[in-house]
């Protein structure tokens, strides 16, 4: 039986779900990814964030086929997003729909954990190894180079081992989306996993919001 969600987990789920909904996924699709009931997901979001509900049949922000084609041709998520004037999450969500390989930036609820002191110390040392950022406040580092790439890979390993990105960002003393930004900067992403299908326990229904795919 799933353990009771903490307030931190509820906020992480709400933020993830809101971003994916704004990107075009339906509540049912989002719930399948998070292995929760659609009503639970929608309630968690509504309780914590203002939601602008989509019109029925509203088109995706990014065409899934185009996003997947450009990615296969070697363009980065950042390049595609800038060219199409949309968010990186919108591009990722579109690619997921086109390739059939959905992933979530957050690990499964049952495996979520806090980062260890050793992991945090290692990540801080990698951050300090980055060169000073130009024209930045004292102590800030430039993570665009090879040192930043090494930091991103180390962060990715911690995330894939069960630490949510938002949790890791805060433990490192950064904003809630800092790790997500760093991984996107170096075109890293958590290992894709299939969302658990609910085909055997739900009736096939039309999902009005299921036409779109993007999210911040």
- Compute and round to an integer the Cα radius of gyration of the chain: 18
| Weakest-pLDDT range from 119-123, 161-165, 178-182, 207-211 | 207-211
Task: Identify whether residues 129 and 205 lie together within a single domain.
Answer: no
- Most confident range (mean pLDDT) of 12-16, 91-95, 202-206 is 12-16
pLDDT for residue 126 is more than 90: yes
Q: Sign of torsion, CA 109 192 31 158?
A: positive
Task: Decide if 2 is inside a domain.
Answer: no
Task: Identify whether residues 60 and 46 lie together within a single domain.
Answer: yes
Task: Identify whether residues 88 and 117 lie together within a single domain.
Answer: no
DSSP symbols for 101-124 = ----SS--GGG--PPPHHHHHHHH
The residues, any chain, with a CB within 8 Å of residue 156's CB and separated by 6 or more, are 183, 188, 189, 190
Specify the pLDDT at position 73: 86
CA 131 to chain centre: 27
Task: Identify whether residues 53 and 87 lie together within a single domain.
Answer: yes
Task: Decide if 117 is inside a domain.
Answer: yes
Task: Identify whether residues 73 and 116 lie together within a single domain.
Answer: no
* Burial group, residue 35, by CB count within 10 angstroms (0-12, 13-18, 19+): middle
Cα first-last separation, the chain: 31
Task: Identify whether residues 87 and 59 lie together within a single domain.
Answer: yes
Cα distance between residue 2 and residue 127, in whole Å: 36
pLDDT digits (tens, 9 = 90+) for 13-47: 888 888 778 777 788 888 887 778 888 888 899 88
pLDDT for residue 110 is more than 70: no
Task: Decide if 81 is inside a domain.
Answer: yes
Model confidence at 60, pLDDT cuts 50, 70, 90, reads: low
Number of domains making up the chain: 2
Helices (H), the chain: 7-23, 27-34, 38-48, 64-72, 77-84, 88-99, 117-128, 146-160, 165-171, 178-185
Task: Identify whether residues 71 and 151 lie together within a single domain.
Answer: no
Task: Identify whether residues 63 and 150 lie together within a single domain.
Answer: no
Task: Decide if 1 is inside a domain.
Answer: no
pLDDT for residue 99 is more than 80: no
Q: State percent of the chain over pLDDT 90.
A: 13
pLDDT for residue 5 is more than 50: yes
Task: Identify whether residues 77 and 123 lie together within a single domain.
Answer: no
Specify the pLDDT at position 182: 92
Instruction: Give bridge partners of residue 132 from the DSSP assignment.
Output: 141
DSSP symbols for 137-164 = -TT-B--SSHHHHHHHHHHHHHHHTT--
Domain region containing 149: 109-185
Computed over every residue of the chain, the mean pLDDT equals 76
Structure-model confidence comparison of residues 188 and 122, the more confident one:
122
Q: Phi and psi (nearest 5°) for 26? A: -85, 165
pLDDT digits (tens, 9 = 90+) for 165-186: 888 999 999 888 899 889 888 8
Task: Decide if 73 is inside a domain.
Answer: yes
Task: Decide if 216 is inside a domain.
Answer: no
């Amino acid at each position: 039986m799933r353990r009771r969600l903490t307030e931190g987990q509820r906020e992480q789920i709400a933020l993830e779900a809101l971003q994916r909904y704004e990107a075009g996924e339906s509540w049912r699709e989002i719930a399948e990814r998070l292995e929760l009931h659609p009503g639970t997901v929608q309630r968690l979001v509504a309780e914590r964030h203002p939601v602008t509900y989509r019109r029925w049949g509203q088109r995706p922000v990014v065409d899934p086929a185009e996003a997947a084609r450009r990615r296969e041709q070697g363009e980065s998520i950042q390049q595609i997003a800038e060219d199409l004037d949309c968010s990186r999450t919108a591009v990722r969500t579109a690619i997921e729909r086109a390739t059939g390989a959905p992933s979530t930036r957050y690990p499964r609820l049952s495996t979520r954990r806090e980062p260890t002191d050793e992991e945090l110390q290692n990540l801080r040392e990698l951050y300090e190894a980055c060169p000073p950022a130009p024209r930045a406040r004292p102590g800030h580092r430039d993570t665009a180079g090879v040192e930043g790439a090494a930091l991103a890979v180390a962060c990715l390993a911690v995330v894939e081992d069960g630490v949510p990105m938002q949790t890791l960002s805060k433990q490192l003393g950064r904003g809630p989306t800092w790790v997500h930004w760093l991984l996107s900067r170096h075109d890293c992403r958590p290992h894709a996993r299939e969302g658990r299908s609910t085909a055997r326990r739900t009736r096939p229904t039309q999902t009005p919001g299921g036409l779109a795919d993007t999210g911040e």
